[in-house]
Amino acid sequence: MKAKVVLLGPPGCGKGTQAEKMGDDLGYVKLSTGDMLREAVRNQTELGMKAKGYMDSGALVPNDLIIGLMKEKIAGLDKILLDGFPRTVEQADALAEQVEVDLAINIDVDDAELINRLTQRRSCPECNAVYHLTNKPPAKEGVCDKCGSQLYQRDDDTEATVKNRLEVYRQNTFPLIEYYEKKGKLVTIPGVGDIEEIYAKIKAALE
């Protein structure tokens, strides 16, 4: 099974949803930069205070902050799943200096579907589980199935900010598809349809 795995794809394509399943089921250590940054914002750490303005507007947090953070987290881990990192070619080059990526999985979803998913997403602030008001509702309205916490809507999940995030993705992160394709490490998986069916395709690609 591939050990060093990167999840690529636009905001809302399902990286977090699939990463959660891969972590629970296949024993990957899941490192999500978005979750780490949101926790830093909640705890008002120095990193959180620097990152907040960028995140609220849908912009990327500067490379130097992210690269330093991820270098520390990745060190010494064997089976890792990177969700939301790298996001720029500079981040990908920094990652390549530290570990060799075995597979980059690009989850492909069109913009109209992404906007629907993100504006209807609800997230758990404690365990980072994600739900959707109609596609994946929790058993009890507003409450996380996994840990019982109150669900919330992310500040950057408004329609205007989502549109900006999609533009930021196209300019900065989309080029990573070609980056990993050239290295022979890319697989693209259609991300529309049943969550379990998409997961089965990801699992097959990992073998």
Question: Applying CB under 6 A, does 11 fall inside the site for ligand AP5?
Answer: yes
Measured at the alpha carbon of residue 185, what is the angle toward residues 184 and 186, in degrees to the nearest 5?
100
Whole-angstrom distance, CA of residue 107 vs CA of residue 86: 15
Question: Applying CB under 6 A, does 55 fall inside the site for ligand AP5?
Answer: yes
42 is catalytic: no
Out of 4, 15, 21, 117, the active site residue is 15
Question: Applying CB under 6 A, does 117 fall inside the site for ligand AP5?
Answer: yes
Out of 21, 38, 117, 121, the active site residue is 121
Measured at the alpha carbon of residue 158, what is the angle toward residues 66 and 136, in degrees to the nearest 5?
90
Residue nearest to ligand AP5 (CB): 34
Q: Is the CB of 94 or the CB of 206 nearer to ligand AP5?
A: 94
87 is catalytic: yes
Of 5, 14, 128, 185, the one binding ligand AP5 (CB under 6 A) is: 14
Question: Applying CB under 6 A, does 12 fall inside the site for ligand AP5?
Answer: yes
DSSP 82-114: EES---SHHHHHHHHHH---SEEEEEE--HHHH
Phi, psi (rounded to 5 degrees) for 113: -65, -40
Do the beta carbons of residue 202 and residue 189 sit within 8 Å?
A: yes
In whole angstroms, how close is the CB of 32 to ligand AP5 at the nearest point? Answer: 6
Question: Applying CB under 6 A, does 80 fall inside the site for ligand AP5?
Answer: no
Which part of the chain contacts ligand AP5 (CB under 6 A), choosing from 51-59, 96-104, 143-151, 178-186?
51-59
The two three-digit tokens of residue 94, written as one number: 């920094």
Catalytic residues: 15, 87, 121, 154, 165
